[in-house]
Structure 1
Amino acid sequence: MASSTCPADLAAMFGANTTDAAGAATFICNKLSDTTFAVDSTYLLFSAYLVFSMQLGFAMLCAGSVRAKNTMNIMLTNVLDAAAGGLFYYLFGFAFAFGTPSNGFIGRHNFGLKDIPTTNFDYSYFLYQWAFAIAAAGITSGSIAERTQFVAYLIYSAFLTGFVYPVVSHWFWSVDGWASATNYDSLLFGSGVIDFAGSGVVHMVGGIAGLWGALIEGPRIGRFDQSGRSVALKGHSASLVVLGTFLLWFGWYGFNPGSFTKILAPYESGNYYGQWSAVGRTAVTTTLAGCTAALTTLFGKRILSGHWNVTDVCNGLLGGFAAITAGCSVVEPWAAVICGFVAACVLTGCNYLAVKFKYDDPLEAAQLHGGCGAWGIIFTALFAKEKYVNEVYAIPGKTSRPYGLFMGGGGKLLAAHIIQILVIFAFVSATMGPLFWGLHKLKLLRISPEDETAGMDMTRHGGFAYVYHDEDDQKAFPMRKIEPALSA
């Protein structure tokens, strides 16, 4: 719909000699409005396609990080995260997340996309948010890889994308959410939570869900020896890990800059500086955080282990991206460098604790997405710049709102972000923890030791993904089809 002032303002410019100044003005203003909607929708759809391409990145990263005998299994789970997530997010998830008007806890409109499009969002918005939902499910699948029954993947993926993730995203992203930065009628601490693209909403949710799944299942066979010492169960393909990392890097440019959802929005009409500049800045901060984390990990691992390890560098890079995701739109590029450096240190520390407590996560997903995601939330509360906060999160009728503690903005934003970390951890633990525990008690969670030793590709999926030539494994496990154990 055209601005109500546009036709009147434009008509006044035509002059007295124009036959139908009002009609001409209305026609031009409507065309300009239509163009704005079309440009913004195209931008959002393109961003959705970029985020969806991250599923291929997750699939390649997961496949390369597991042993060859489980390659088909992990790639199938990634496909079904998208497929099952699409159906359940369509039926329930989108409504729980963004069905407005609603209460602060959960949405209650637009089930099955009923009454879409509305004045609030179009189909493109659903597609974009679905791509985010399945990203959270993809994070969890990495934590429980190589030892989880297939039916458990289907159950947790449907529950996570259909209920758990949507409720959390409603809290922090919906205009009705109790801690949302866009709930102008009731801002938490006068600020709300600035989690722009989801360090908490996406990464912490997926990481904590994976944490509980891996804890309840226990480590893979052989991950720790009889004396409790760590034994590396290396992934079978560094090439796939690097390929997956670059695909995720590419998709992150839809994940973070795309979260503006609009690009044709001037901050000051007629000026070269507008939301398109903020989109570009967000892409830059995302890049710098990832690059810094990668280099920090490279030299840190060299000092600690004596090796230049490409897999660790890839995980460090992704940790930097997960951390900057919350504040990417409201911090300066120099602050993103600090974010990436600390994220690499957080990931290294979390991995050390995981080994110490005999926690096994084949992709370091809980450490990377949970740990670095939590750091990203704190980082935003410390370094958010006043100018950028007021532009990206402008409150109608107000000129300023709380911003980063280290930038002179006080502690209100930090208080809101600490609450975000606590409530996400509590809610995901209270929902996904019992789900995984129930699956465990029903013997639906972990595969049998015989199936795990032989590899799920052979026992559950009809054969290996590759022509397999590992002589040691060939001697121990001849290449023949093995039926699933009756106890599984």
Structure 2
Amino acid sequence: MESTTWEESVTDSINTIYLLFSAYLVFVMQLGFAMLCAGSVRAKNAMNIMLSNVVDAVVGSISYYLFGFAFAFGVGDNSNPFIGSRFFALADVPNSTYDYTFFLYQWAFAIAVAGITSGSIAERTQFSAYLIFSFFLTGFVYPVVAHWVWSSAGWLSPSSSDLLFGSGAIDFAGSGVVHLVGGIAGLWGSLIEGPRVGRFDAFGKPVPMRGHNATLVVLGTFLLWFGWFGFNPGSFDKILVSYPDAADQGNWTGVGRTAVTTTLAGSAAGIVTLFGRRLLVGHWDALDVCNGVLGGFVAITSGCSVVEPWAAIVCGFVAAWVLIGLNILALKLNFDDPLEATQLHGGCGAWGLIFTGLFAKEEFVIQAYDSGETGVTRPYGLFMGGGWGLVGAQVTEVLVIVGWVSVTMGPLFYALHKLGILRIPVEDEIAGLDVSSHGGYAYVAHRDEGHPRYYADYMRLQDQS
């Protein structure tokens, strides 16, 4: 057994501390999701959506430990490029300090996916359905996609020994693996459940159902922004990795750039959404801007480590219009997603993957995936002169994620619907999930807001608000 030098021990310690800190930041995003969701729903459903966020974390933890980690990163005789290890993660539980840290970091990503989907089906879903889809999504659907892209044995991985189109798909922190998966799952849930009662009138015209607390929405947005600094820069899971041909450079040189591109993309999307929505609706809307900022973050997550800062601004600019356009389309199609999660995470996630295929810089790609080795050539952004290889891999990732999540989550939601355990009864929805399913309202002032015998007063208050 080889002895470990003092320098190697220090390097391992710093890598472990950095990844643990990043995992903690990503976990803070659960608090951000919770605040964003709570503020975006009506007061009579606040307790329900908060509980669903807690359930996503606790159920997802057990599901990912038992099954998910094996599907995502399992190695050995029972693994393959398509679904990783076949059964329990228990046998694959890491056996070193750093590996435990890697497990925790990946777990924080996994539970975020279910939180995205929960927002799409808010205000009309039975609590038991949350338990079922959260377990299945975190334990199987998401980990298989993570294996494809992030495991070195995955067929889409840019670190594979057999690169798709000579490139592999670059999804550095998960525009596709996390956000597109959650968005498409939410799409199927929303479609199968149908819109909330009263969301569209008899003529199909949308009726505003604004969230009850803008303060919580803004708080949630800033918490998510803070957590994204673990989500994106933290995906350099080993910060002290030196480039073999430049000892003074290593992964640490890309961390700051990744944080900057993340910030610029979100900021650009927020500004464009601010003025875009001002032109469309005639007033400044803080809630729309918050979603615009998040759309920019979702889009840049794929290419945050491999693009220039100026390209990140382009990414955010387009992401804002993708979000605005999809929201308009959703209303025309009578599609109801209370958190705009399908449009935001699904639409902007897909754009982020395509953006990376267009703007990835060769130098940064080699740094991120070949440790900056000289003499290495590989496809990079089409608009940067890198050919079609990377674009082809990115488009492939979009298509296979949409297909995989559709054939897994679509039938699951349909089965829950047929079994009568997906959507709550109309009278309970009118009364509010808090009083009909959770024993009372989150706020004392709203204790009678949705009860059937107070329905007339409730509608009058809604008209006045």
Contact 1:105 1:171 in 2 (8 A): yes
The aligned runs of 1:365-384 (5 Å cut-off) are 365-384=341-360
| Alpha-carbon distance change, 259 to 252 in structure 1, aligned in 2, over 3 angstroms | same
Secondary structure in 1 matching 2:207: coil
Contact 1:100 1:109 in 2 (8 A): no
How far apart, in 2, do the equivalents of 1:146 and 1:118 lie?
42
Q: Deviations over 1:174-204 (max 9, x none)?
A: 0110111111x21101100000000000000
The aligned runs of 1:288-307 (5 Å cut-off) are 288-307=264-283
How far apart, in 2, do the equivalents of 1:327 and 1:119 lie?
30
Aligned length: 452
Residue matched to 1:111: 88
Contact 1:94 1:110 in 2 (8 A): no
Residue matched to 1:125: 102
Residue matched to 2:23: 48
Opposite residue 17 of structure 2, the aligned amino acid is: T
Cα deviation for residue 117 of structure 1 reads 3.0
| Alpha-carbon distance change, 73 to 471 in structure 1, aligned in 2, over 3 angstroms | closer
Equivalent of residue 393 in structure 2, options 383, 402, 416 = 416
Opposite residue 72 of structure 1, the aligned amino acid is: M
Opposite residue 122 of structure 1, the aligned amino acid is: D
Cα deviation for residue 109 of structure 1 reads 7.1
Contact 2:44 2:446 in 1 (8 A): no
How far apart, in 2, do the equivalents of 1:472 and 1:463 lie?
11
Q: Deviations over 1:280-306 (max 9, x none)?
A: 100000000000000000000111111
Residue matched to 1:362: 338
Residue matched to 1:460: 437
Residue matched to 1:96: 71
Secondary structure in 2 matching 1:360: coil
How far apart, in 2, do the equivalents of 1:469 and 1:105 lie?
49
Cα deviation for residue 131 of structure 1 reads 0.5
Q: Deviations over 1:199-220 (max 9, x none)?
A: 0000000000000000000000
| Alpha-carbon distance change, 103 to 115 in structure 1, aligned in 2, over 3 angstroms | closer
Opposite residue 418 of structure 2, the aligned amino acid is: K
Residue matched to 1:63: 38
- Do residues 143 (structure 1) and 120 (structure 2) align? yes
| Alpha-carbon distance change, 291 to 266 in structure 1, aligned in 2, over 3 angstroms | same
Cα deviation for residue 277 of structure 1 reads 1.5
Opposite residue 274 of structure 1, the aligned amino acid is: G
Contact 2:39 2:214 in 1 (8 A): yes
Equivalent of residue 8 in structure 2, options 33, 52, 76 = 33
Cα deviation for residue 467 of structure 1 reads 1.6
Task: Give the percent of matched residue pairs that are identical in Structure 1 and Structure 2.
Answer: 66
Which of 1 and 2 has greater Rg? 1
| Alpha-carbon distance change, 31 to 378 in structure 1, aligned in 2, over 3 angstroms | same
| Alpha-carbon distance change, 474 to 42 in structure 1, aligned in 2, over 3 angstroms | same
Equivalent of residue 432 in structure 1, options 409, 418, 424 = 409
| Alpha-carbon distance change, 452 to 409 in structure 1, aligned in 2, over 3 angstroms | same
How far apart, in 1, do the equivalents of 2:69 and 2:421 lie?
28
Contact 1:110 1:116 in 2 (8 A): no
Cα deviation for residue 265 of structure 1 reads 1.4
Q: Deviations over 1:336-370 (max 9, x none)?
A: 00000000000001001100100000000000000
Residue matched to 1:445: 422
For structure 2, the residue ranges without an aligned partner over 5 or more in a row are 456-465
Contact 2:448 2:454 in 1 (8 A): no
| Alpha-carbon distance change, 452 to 111 in structure 1, aligned in 2, over 3 angstroms | same
Residue matched to 2:462: none
Q: Deviations over 1:423-456 (max 9, x none)?
A: 0000000000000000000000000000000001
How far apart, in 2, do the equivalents of 1:193 and 1:71 lie?
39
Residue matched to 2:135: 158
Residue matched to 1:81: 56
Cα deviation for residue 470 of structure 1 reads 9.2
TM-score (norm 1): 0.89
Equivalent of residue 320 in structure 2, options 330, 344, 366 = 344
Residue matched to 1:330: 306
How far apart, in 2, do the equivalents of 1:264 and 1:172 lie?
23
Q: Deviations over 1:15-68 (max 9, x none)?
A: xxxxxxxxxxx7xx6111111111101100100000001000000000000000
The aligned runs of 1:277-288 (5 Å cut-off) are 277-288=253-264
Opposite residue 405 of structure 1, the aligned amino acid is: L
Contact 1:99 1:110 in 2 (8 A): no
Residue matched to 1:259: 235
How far apart, in 2, do the equivalents of 1:291 and 1:469 lie?
35
Cα deviation for residue 272 of structure 1 reads 4.5
Secondary structure in 1 matching 2:298: helix
- Do residues 204 (structure 1) and 180 (structure 2) align? yes
Residue matched to 2:459: none
| Alpha-carbon distance change, 469 to 137 in structure 1, aligned in 2, over 3 angstroms | closer
